[in-house]
Amino acid sequence: MSTMTKQIGENLKSSFTVLLTRCIKGVTAILILSALSAGSLAGVGEGQELYNAYCQICHGVLGEGQTMGKPLTDAPANRLADQELIDVITDGRAGTGMAAWEGSLSEIEIFDIASYIRNLQGRPALVLGDNDSGPSDDPNVIAGEMLFNGSADCATCHSYDEKGGSVGPSLDGLGSRLGDDALRQALMNPSASIVSGYGAKEVEQEDGTVVRGRFRNDSELAVQIQSEDGRRWVTYFKERVTAVRDLDESLMPDTFANLSVSEQEKLLAFLSSL
C-alpha cells in the first residue's frame, strides 16, 4: 500500500471519528434536553398518582375538599400563582393541617402534584413564571377589594382567601354561588336570608345592658356568643342575666346601602370575583 493511500485512509478514519463524536454529542444533548423538559413541564400523570397517594385523603378525589383539608378548586386556590402553589406544598401552612412535603417528596414530584392540581382546576399545566395567574387586574375589582378591607369594613366580619373575620360566613367562592342580582339583594337586605350557623342572640344583663353577637354555644347553664366585632367569645351564665333572646335579623350593618352607586359597583365586582 502506497504512502498516499495510507494517508487517505488515516484522513478518512479521522473524519469518521470526528463525525461520530459529533453525532454522539448531539444525541447526548437531545437526551439531556428531554430530561430537563420532563422536569420542567407538567408531569400530570405522575402528579395524579402522587396526589392519589398522598393528597386525596384530605382534599378529596377531585380536589373538592374534605373535613381535614380545604378545597383545591375554589377561588383562593385558583388565585395562587404557580410558585405560591409549589411553596404551599413544599413548606405547608403554619396553623393548619397542611404539612410540609419538602424532604418527603422531590422537587419534581412536588412540581408534578402542583401540575395535577392545576388540571383539577381546569387550567393549563403549571408553568413557572406564568403572569396570567394571581389576583385580578380589573380596576373595579382592585378598588372593590380596597373598599372591602378599608372604609366599608367588611373584613372585620367576613373572610376570603383565609384572611378576615369569622362573625359572618366566609366569602370564598361567592361569585360562583350567587348571581349578580342575588348578591346585590343579599347585600341590600342581609336579614332576608341568614346562613345556617350564623344566627345571632342578644343577652340582656341585670343592669339593663344588652349585648348582641353571633351564637356559638348553648347549654342549660350558659350561653356563649361572639361579639359583633368578632374579637371576643363571651360566656354568660343564664342565672346571672335577665334574658337570652334569638334574633331574627342579621348582625350585618347597612353598609352597602349607604355606599355611593360607584362604590357599590366596585364592591360587587370584587365579591363576584371571589
- The tens digit of pLDDT for each residue in 206-227 reads 999 999 888 888 888 999 988 8
Higher pLDDT, 135 or 58: 58
pTM check: above 0.75: no
Asked if CATH classification 3.30.160.270 holds for the domain at 139-193+254-272, the reply, yes or no, is no
Q: What is the pLDDT of residue 34?
A: 39
Q: Percentage of the chain with pLDDT > 90?
A: 19
State the DSSP code for 126: P
Average pLDDT, integer, range 25-42: 38
Q: Mention every residue, 6+ apart, whose C-beta is less than 8 A from residue 219.
A: none
Average pLDDT of the chain to the nearest whole number: 79
Average pLDDT, integer, range 99-124: 86
User: Contact at 8 Å (CB) between 130 and 62?
Assistant: no
Q: Mention every residue, 6+ apart, whose C-beta is less than 8 A from residue 75.
A: 160, 161, 172, 173, 175, 176, 273, 274
Matching CATH number, 200-247, of 3.90.1150.10, 2.30.30.100, 3.40.50.150, 3.30.710.10: 2.30.30.100
| Domain ranges in the chain with CATH number 1.10.760.10 | 44-120, 139-193+254-272
CATH code, residues 44-120: 1.10.760.10
| Domain ranges in the chain with CATH number 2.30.30.100 | 200-247
